[in-house]
Structure 1
Amino acid sequence: MPLAQPSRKENLHGFGESIKAFLSSRIAVALATVILGSLIVASALLPQSVALEKGQFAKRDIQAQRTIVNRVATEKLREEARRVYLKNAPSFPDNYEINQSYSYMAEETVESVFDAISSASREIPEGDIEVIAQHAAGIIADDMGIVASEADLALLASMNEMEYEDAREAAAALVGSVMRENRITDDNLQTIAAGIPGALSDRGLPDECVEPVSRLVISAIRPNLSLSLAKVEKAAEEEADLVQPVYVQKGQNIIRRGELATEETIEILKDLGLLGARGSILGWVGVISFTALAVGYTGVYIKSFPARAPRERGMLSLVAIAGLLVLLLGSILVSLTPDYAAYLVPAAFATMVISFLASLEIALVVNLSVAALIGVLFRGNMFAMLASLAAGAAGAYAAHDLHERSSMTRAVLAVGVSVATVSVCYGLGFGEPEIVSRWYLGFVNGIISTVMTLGSLPFFETLFGVSSSLRLLELSNPGHPLLRRLLLEAPGTYHHSILVGNLGETAAQAIGADALLVRVGALYHDCGKLKRPYFFAENQFAQANPHDKISPALSTLVITSHVKDGVELAKQYKLPAPVAGMIQQHHGTGLVSFFYARASESERDLCIDEKDFRYPGPKPQTREAAVVMLADSVEAAVRSMSDPSSWQVKNAVRKIIREKLNDGQLDECDLTLRELNEIENAFINVLSGVYHERVEYPELPSNEPSANGGRDTAGSSARDEAAGLSSKQAASGETDTRSAIGDRKTLGRDENAR
């Protein structure tokens, strides 16, 4: 037989439940935080895009969001410096270099003179030396443009072949080396020429040949420098690099409304990222990445240390909202008072709220993320980041474990001192006296953060169902309306709750749990008995027991309903969720053993289901709720004893804790066996002090009859006073809580201690 397919309605319902579960998950909170945080940071960090082209008129004033280089104006100045240098380049000697071609030309000139002499000698083999010199001079004058005297040519022509070749080789080599190795100008030409005869002599040329060869070499030497284009271009670029950049300062007007957009204006807008989608997209990528890193850091800590993370469903949302509010206020301050914003960012507000309502560890972790994003929000302002970091840490430590609203003044001092210290140290370290002079703004920050924290605590407590220590202290006030009702309408339950609170608080302190929360939870744990107070033994006094007239099943229903009634009263009086949870969980799924046993005896022929005689639960989910359960059961069991001696109290405490453990009532909380042992010792110490042995005072004889018909009350009054109690307390039943509540063995007790 084929399985039935789910209907469309069921599919939609399942999809809706999946969406609801996702929205309440940690991932949804993280994603929402990243999105909102990115929007806040981007609103202050990323400039608003502008639709403007060259030749168009601006529709609004546009200012620079940060300091940048005006590339167009700077390039104009560089080009002007380059042009001026190129114009004046020929006047700079360093721009010239030796031209090697001049040395080759000089060598060829010298070689040509000797070639002319050789040619003339071949043409006139037997001629006169002077005729040969004249003919050679003519060849030189016609073809080479060099002036050589006939006398020098005659001396050269008169040399033998060996001397002639030596002179030729020496002259060509010398003129080439001189032209290649010396920077020759018109100014130093004569100086270089003066050294030619000596150089020829050093080359071994005969003395009679030195003079004519010297004059020939000197006549061939010319200035050998030419302008180097490579040097000129390099020097021009170096000159352009010396030009100081033109800056567009932060806040400077780029273009005013109605002005014509020029090429320079458009380029500035592009550099600022105000034009074009590319810069805007990259800016968003950077902002989202920074925000995701900050949120991810907090998320990794919460995942790595779940025991220190807040367990309430709305607590993560509270943490996220507190951090986002600081970022939002920071972005507003940047736009309103940019010069003072870094001092006034209320980073301590977030950490004080989180430390107060969640935990110190989470507050410090969030503080790191918020301070990093503040640094991004202020465009990398390190002082703003350090000031926020110090203020947040100081606020977290100052607000931790506060028990009075008036004590919040120490948070003002802590935040103020921390910001002032950062201001002084940063200003002195970086040479910024202006920052040092504004140290007093740290105390303004402390006042703002503290006032915001005090004002927002009731809002956060109500919205997210969490409770601060101040709220718990207010709930522990005997003047609270619900406690007043409990005292007047169910006095036995009220006194029982006070003693349970004492037991629970001591045990919570022993295991490091929230002692204040345990005390408050114990005060209200039985508030549901207000609906039918006389169905519970501690409130019956001398009245008849109504359970004698109804069945055990109905009695069980009445007894167990005080849990549901208590939850309804918690909603009516707006008690915090942790306190309401203790009201709901303080019996767990325990068995109402008295009525179950009575039903089993009276209805033996019927099948009795144990589940019908158990509380609806749930079992305690936290250590605090478990401590309240154990304290409630232990107090009830010990109070039911007719003679609670020390050893009986110890046995009863151990038995109750063992029974709760074996019944599985502690399976869903984090209590360890070591902590159960510490709770047991704490209960025994407190109960031993409550039920200690007392000295019985003897009756004193009276010589005169008393005013109340002969009964002597002086002894009882003396005993009351000797016990440290007033006669009014004794008369009201506060001297002995046991007599006020009555014998717990009476039918109708709701405690499942046995």
Structure 2
Amino acid sequence: EEVIYKQGQNIVVKGEGRITAGQIAMLSALGLLSNDSFDLNMYLGGGLLTLLVMLLFILLIKRKDFEVYENTLNTLLTCIIFTVTLGLCILARFVNAYLAPVALCAMLVTALVGSRTALLCSAALSVLVASLAAGGNEAFAEQMVLSMVIYMGTSTLAVWLMADKSTRLRALLTGLLMSAASALLLLAYNLMTSNDLSGTLRSSLWCLGGALLSTLLYIAIQPILELAFNLPTPLKLLELSNPNQPLLKRLLLEASGTYHHSIIVANLAEAAAEAIGANPLLARVGGYYHDVGKLKRPLFFRENQIGNVSGHDQADPEVSAAIITSHVRDGVALAKSYRLPQAVINIVSEHHGDTPVMFFYHKAVQQAGDREINIDDFRYEGHPPTTKESAIIMICDTIEAAVRTLKNPTPEDVENFIVKLVRGKLEDGQLSDAPLTLRDIDKICTACTTVLSGVFHERIEYPEMPEKKMRMHRPAANQEVQPEMTPDEKEIVLPDAPDAAPAVIPEPAVETKEAPLPEAPAKPAEAVKPESAPAPLSVLPVKEEQKNVDVVPPAADLAPVLPEITPPPAIAPVQVEDLLSVEQAAELAAEIDDEDIDIPESGDEE
């Protein structure tokens, strides 16, 4: 009788007491009861498949499109990562095939080498691990295909997520998304082909565990490889961009002009790298360190000189050119001593290429007379840029140094000058080995123009204030500031008036100068009656010749009108009415007339 077993259905359960003949026949048909300890077909097929995959892998990495092309370090690193991941997958096979950390290879190669090489490694590794999971048995062919799809899917997702940003936080996010994707993919497939729900859930959990295991292994292995090979990982580049790095602090203190020049070059390079899809963080760090060789002789470079005195004034042009060009060689030596990544060292050595120092070449030609001058003696000893980042640093370094010579540049002047400089680099062949297209160069020029237009923006010219208006009278530190008095509170005290109380008068509306006024007859003044004054006085008796003196009407209850009083020189030039008491008026009247004046003690006013 024919017995049909569905996929995922158990044939024999561990601990089952009796086994039927049908179960034995099924186990024998599947090869599970074979006594052969060596399956030649399985090993031949597995070996042939491995050979084909590795051959295809080697042929593909020889193409220029991949990051390992003619790069010994990247090739060695890729082989190490591939081998380690394959070994871990073989070990995980003894637990469960879905626990294999295939995505580890994709994550490490993407972060340390490149995304294209990572895709190639992931495809090759997925085929090998899936064939090992099948065990060379035709009954597991379907499982092999399913495993291959899951491995390649999670690896491709890892490459896509970590291609632009391979930080630890991004790695954790990648692990979570890979876990969810692999578990859902396996769950959907098993729900369509199997009724064993518990087995499906277990397999999905194994897939989830494999993705998380890949993430944990990445976090553990990546720093080890970074330290061993001194790789320019994002974390390493962020550390190098810290201004507190010893080499950058030396540059700031010993060659401050070069330091500020490097800051602007780094900003230009980062903007240009983002425009063409290069590594902006590597370009920024390369801009920071590209001129560290000037630390050896900082005063021979114009940005570090104070005033118009230069060490090249009395030197031969050949010697000056040798000093200028040596900063590339000195920079490479200094970068190696500080263990900078090789990618940064390459930028230091290539940022001038083999361009000639034209200033000293022209100076030598003028001084040579009939003697022939070889321009090769004035060239840098470096190699033209071979990477996008090195070419960007060369262009930005030239632009930043040359644009400073423009007087009151407009954005149009800056753009035209940049195009002229870049055209000169192209004609000299300095960008021939760089992987840049004309479109990339145009984007670099546009990005540099935008940044420099902000650096050389116009400012408002502030007018100079007159010196007198800028003076501010402020009290001394120990001087008490008196509050300003209101006009009604200001006092003027009349001189030579004993026992006279000060009178409160309004402040005059017209300000007078401090010049002596001519004598003028005083106006009639009204005397304020004090509280303790006696009764009002009668009109004073006068002689006939004094009848022309005006007398205040008695109804006003005021003192007699006083004769003319000449103010002393010390009186302030303020015209006010003299206010006198009754006693003072009597004394002044007695001085005018030698005769005695009888003042009645009491009586009504006439």
Same fold (TM over 0.5): yes
- Tell me the CA shift for residue 377 of structure 1: 1.6
Q: Could you say which residue in structure 2 is the equivalent of 1:637?
A: 402
Given that residues 314 and 465 in structure 1 are in contact (C-alpha distance below 8 angstroms), is that contact kept between their aligned partners in structure 2? no
Given that residues 390 and 422 in structure 1 are in contact (C-alpha distance below 8 angstroms), is that contact kept between their aligned partners in structure 2? no
Q: Structure 2: which amino acid aligns with 1:696? A: E
Given that residues 600 and 608 in structure 1 are in contact (C-alpha distance below 8 angstroms), is that contact kept between their aligned partners in structure 2? yes
Given that residues 90 and 100 in structure 2 are in contact (C-alpha distance below 8 angstroms), is that contact kept between their aligned partners in structure 1? no
Once residues 542 and 705 of structure 1 are traced to their aligned partners in structure 2, the CA distance between those partners, rounded to angstroms, is 39
Helix, strand or coil at the partner of 1:245: helix
Matched, 1:349 2:113: no
Alignment of 1:323-402 (within 5 A): 323-335=82-94, 337=95, 341-378=96-133, 379=135, 380=140, 381-382=143-144, 383-402=146-165
Q: 1:625 to 1:246 in 2, by over 3 A?
A: closer
Per-residue deviation, residues 651-692 of structure 1 (Å, max 9, x unmatched): 321221111111111121232233322222222222112112
Q: 1:319 to 1:649 in 2, by over 3 A?
A: same
Per-residue deviation, residues 146-195 of structure 1 (Å, max 9, x unmatched): xxxxxxxxxxxxxxxxxxxxxxxxxxxxxxxxxxxxxxxxxxxxxxxxxx
- Tell me the CA shift for residue 584 of structure 1: 0.5
Q: Could you say which residue in structure 1 is the equivalent of 2:81?
A: 322
Q: 1:283 to 1:439 in 2, by over 3 A?
A: closer
Alignment of 1:576-725 (within 5 A): 576-700=341-465, 701-704=469-472
- Tell me the CA shift for residue 509 of structure 1: 2.4
Once residues 102 and 118 of structure 2 are traced to their aligned partners in structure 1, the CA distance between those partners, rounded to angstroms, is 11
Alignment of 1:119-130 (within 5 A): none
Once residues 548 and 477 of structure 1 are traced to their aligned partners in structure 2, the CA distance between those partners, rounded to angstroms, is 37
Q: 1:386 to 1:675 in 2, by over 3 A?
A: closer
Given that residues 518 and 624 in structure 1 are in contact (C-alpha distance below 8 angstroms), is that contact kept between their aligned partners in structure 2? yes
User: Which structure 2 segments of 5+ residues have no match?
Assistant: 1-10, 12-19, 476-606
Per-residue deviation, residues 104-152 of structure 1 (Å, max 9, x unmatched): xxxxxxxxxxxxxxxxxxxxxxxxxxxxxxxxxxxxxxxxxxxxxxxxx
Q: 1:319 to 1:408 in 2, by over 3 A?
A: same
Matched, 1:425 2:193: no
Per-residue deviation, residues 424-473 of structure 1 (Å, max 9, x unmatched): 22432332432313534444333332232233223334555542333323
Helix, strand or coil at the partner of 2:432: coil
Q: Structure 2: which amino acid aligns with 1:603? A: A
Once residues 343 and 176 of structure 2 are traced to their aligned partners in structure 1, the CA distance between those partners, rounded to angstroms, is 32
Over the residues paired in the alignment, what is the CA RMSD in angstroms? 3.1
Once residues 315 and 419 of structure 2 are traced to their aligned partners in structure 1, the CA distance between those partners, rounded to angstroms, is 34
Matched, 1:295 2:75: no
Once residues 426 and 441 of structure 1 are traced to their aligned partners in structure 2, the CA distance between those partners, rounded to angstroms, is 15
Per-residue deviation, residues 504-545 of structure 1 (Å, max 9, x unmatched): 222222223222222221111111112222221112234842
Q: Could you say which residue in structure 2 is the equivalent of 1:306?
A: 64
Per-residue deviation, residues 547-578 of structure 1 (Å, max 9, x unmatched): 22432222211111111111112222222222
Q: Structure 2: which amino acid aligns with 1:528? A: G
Q: 1:404 to 1:542 in 2, by over 3 A?
A: farther
Choose 362-371 or 607-616, whichever is displaced more. 362-371
Given that residues 461 and 576 in structure 1 are in contact (C-alpha distance below 8 angstroms), is that contact kept between their aligned partners in structure 2? no
Once residues 122 and 149 of structure 2 are traced to their aligned partners in structure 1, the CA distance between those partners, rounded to angstroms, is 11
Q: Structure 2: which amino acid aligns with 1:511? A: I
Given that residues 262 and 287 in structure 2 are in contact (C-alpha distance below 8 angstroms), is that contact kept between their aligned partners in structure 1? yes
Q: Structure 2: which amino acid aligns with 1:293? A: L
More helix, by proportion: 1
Once residues 512 and 480 of structure 1 are traced to their aligned partners in structure 2, the CA distance between those partners, rounded to angstroms, is 27
Helix, strand or coil at the partner of 1:653: helix
- Tell me the CA shift for residue 328 of structure 1: 0.1
Q: Could you say which residue in structure 1 is the equivalent of 2:317?
A: 552
Given that residues 93 and 100 in structure 2 are in contact (C-alpha distance below 8 angstroms), is that contact kept between their aligned partners in structure 1? no
Once residues 391 and 647 of structure 1 are traced to their aligned partners in structure 2, the CA distance between those partners, rounded to angstroms, is 50
- Tell me the CA shift for residue 618 of structure 1: 0.3
Q: 1:590 to 1:425 in 2, by over 3 A?
A: same
Relative contact order: is structure 1 or structure 2 higher (C-alpha 8 Å, sep ≥ 6)?
1
Q: 1:288 to 1:541 in 2, by over 3 A?
A: farther
Aligned length: 444
Once residues 448 and 240 of structure 2 are traced to their aligned partners in structure 1, the CA distance between those partners, rounded to angstroms, is 24
Q: Could you say which residue in structure 1 is the equivalent of 2:337?
A: 572
Once residues 247 and 46 of structure 2 are traced to their aligned partners in structure 1, the CA distance between those partners, rounded to angstroms, is 50
Once residues 706 and 323 of structure 1 are traced to their aligned partners in structure 2, the CA distance between those partners, rounded to angstroms, is 79
Given that residues 466 and 577 in structure 1 are in contact (C-alpha distance below 8 angstroms), is that contact kept between their aligned partners in structure 2? yes
Q: 1:244 to 1:682 in 2, by over 3 A?
A: closer
User: Which structure 1 segments of 5+ residues have no match?
Assistant: 1-67, 69-76, 79-241, 255-267, 708-754
Once residues 228 and 420 of structure 2 are traced to their aligned partners in structure 1, the CA distance between those partners, rounded to angstroms, is 41
Q: Structure 2: which amino acid aligns with 1:351? A: A
Q: 1:602 to 1:705 in 2, by over 3 A?
A: farther
Given that residues 385 and 434 in structure 2 are in contact (C-alpha distance below 8 angstroms), is that contact kept between their aligned partners in structure 1? yes
Question: Which of the residues 232, 242, 248 maps onto 1:483?
Answer: 248
Given that residues 352 and 395 in structure 1 are in contact (C-alpha distance below 8 angstroms), is that contact kept between their aligned partners in structure 2? yes
